[in-house]
Each structure stands twice: as structure tokens, then as C-alpha cells.
Amino acid sequence: MKQLKRIVVLFVAGIMMAGMAYQPAQGHKVEPDEVYHRAWQLVRDNYYDAGFNGVNWKELEHKYDSKINNLEDAHKYIKVMLKSLNDPYTRFLDPRAFQDENDAIDAKIVGIGINLQQTKDKAKLLITRTIEDGPAEKAGIRAGDEIVAIDNSNAVGITPEQAAEKIRGQAGTSVSLTVKREKDNEPKKIAIVRSEIVIKAVSTKMLENNIGYIQLTTFISNDAAREFKQALRKYNKADGLVVDLRDNPGGLLSNALEIADMLLESGPIVSTISRHGKHTDLSSGTPVTHQPIVVLIDEESASASEILASALKDNKRAKLVGNKSYGKGLVQEINKLPGGAAVHITVSRYLTPNGSDINKIGVKPDFQVQVKEEQLDRALDCLKSEIASLKNPVRTSSLSFSR
């Protein structure tokens, strides 16, 4: 399975905030077995598959009681318990990872501002993106750089999570990355000062022929929908829009629903199916814009990206250009545990408006363009054709009839 990209804080695809966060009474001492049992209970009550993927869930309730003596033990056996489900999206977050996730949702992190990805052979740790105006970018780090050392410690073969742990630190402190570049003979050591970074979910530019370009890089920020609406208003006089969802690993379901509603004239957005039934979210029918739209997707467009892309495609609101998307058709809730850790629990699967289950399948573009550098040009050609048909409806109709 392809790996989702990770930033210094972990990006999570397809999550929605849970309203069931557990808070122990004030002054209550957190007992390790209580933490484990709470995680077990949350899965029991909320996991989307009542059969627990064939696992005897009741058997796990007290299976590790004799082995849990402290909080570290509790966390260890929660991981073991969750792993038995064979669901990579139902997983444990230690307090640090949970805090990182909350920081990402709040759109502010302390760090250096890079996305990391490990190659499939696990031989290289690559920087796939630098946050605009972030510490790493200002220090000269570039997308495509391979990290070979962090503070003089060998980084070859380590995971993005392990690298993130080494890179983390307080604002104002420094970390050095030794990076290799394709055309450079020798690795280069670069010192970077950590700072608070405001994560922007949206970037924009005006293209030729009065086409607005809106790139949405994540759905995880609470500000993503607001930023997207601002971009739509900025380009309200454009003849058409390109919405770029490439390399977008997903985020909050609420953002996908809100952004889809800004664009859809009518129709369903997505249906979620849990143990408690089926729920369909419908567009309000009051879109922010009626402009022609083309959406760019690729194999790293996941979860919330796929919800938005399929909603626009199935409702015939936009054409999709690029490569087939990642294929994550499951939704998770974030549940806080006593002591500050958390678990993600898969609570539902979803169907696109036309009833498709895209899990492990992905969303197929209307126009497949494998070479990334050619995708935007194809999207613009498609958009220009759509704009021309709207400006000359009689001529277009006549041409269609003559065929």
C-alpha cells in the first residue's frame, strides 16, 4: 500500500472530531488499567464493523490485565489490541502525537515546516514539500532533498515519525539537517531555527486566460474551509477555476462537506454507513460560485480529498484530471484517553453520491494524465473548452448535433 505523506506533525486522512472525549474527574489519579479499558470500550461501542474484522473483542477486555503495571504498559497493550483489528487507521496516539495533531488542526505548529516521505524500499527519507516562508524554506531546504543526518545522527533508513521526533524542539532552538541533492557531489549541512508556523491550507494564483488556480494542500486545519471561501471570493470574476487536490492526504470530514457545499448546485455530497445506520449529507443548493471547475487529483489525494473530488464528479459539477486517487473510504473519530493519549477509531465507511465504495480502489479521473508536469496543461485545455461552450451555447449545440 502506498504511504500517506507525513509532515513534522502527523497528517491524518479522513478524520472527524469526536464528541465523546473522556475526561477523568478533577483530582482523579489515572490508573493504567483504566486507560486500557477505556480504549477497549471505545472500540467496542463505536467500531464500524460489528464483527471487529473477525476478532473476538470480548476476549481482549482483560487479556493483558496481569501485564499492565504502568502507563507505558497500558499504551503498549492498547497498540497490540488495536493491531489485532488489521485496520491501519484505527490506531493509538501517545500524548505527544495527539498534541501534534491538535496543533495541526489549530493550524499552528512549532517546528521547521517540512513534509517527509520514506521511499518504498525504506532506503531514503525525502523532503517532499517545504511550507512557504517556513524556517526550512528560509534556510535553503528544498523539496526533493534527502535527509541523511539530523544533528549529526545518521538518518538513513529511519521512518518519517522517527525523524519527526528528532526534529521536534522548542521555538528558538536550532536543529541541523544534512541533506543530499541530485546534482550535488557532497551532502550539505544546514542549520535551521525552529519557530511557530502558521499552516496555510490554501495557496492561489491567477493563470493566463483569466483562470483562477486554488491549491488545497490539507483538510486538517480548522481554517481550511474559511481559506477556501476567501479564495473563491478572490477569483469571483475569473472565467473558470482549477482546484488542485494533488498530494492532499485529507483531514477533517467537516471541511470536505463545507467546501463541497460551496461548489455544488444541488445533490448529495457523501453517505456514511456505520453500525447505527446510513447518513447522507446533502448540499444546501446555495453555492458560492457557479464558475466552471476542473479538479486535479493524483495517487496521493486521499480521504477528504476523495470525498470532495467524487462529490463534484458524480454531481457533474467538475471534471477530474490526473491519476486515480489513493482509495481511502473509511472515516475515523479522535477519542481522548485518560492521561492525554488518544485513539483513532474507524467509525464508518463512506459511499460517493453515485453509491461507489472507493476504499482500496480510488476515484478515477475523467481524463487520466500520468505525467505530473502535463496535468495542469490538460486541466486548462479542458476548462477552456467548458468556458467556450458556456459562452457559445448555440454554436456548441449545433456542432454536437452535426455529429
Would you name the residues annotated as active-site residues?
303, 314, 328
Which amino acid makes up residue 61? E
Burial class (CB in 10 A: 0-12, 13-18, 19+), 8: buried
Question: First-to-last CA distance in the chain?
Answer: 44
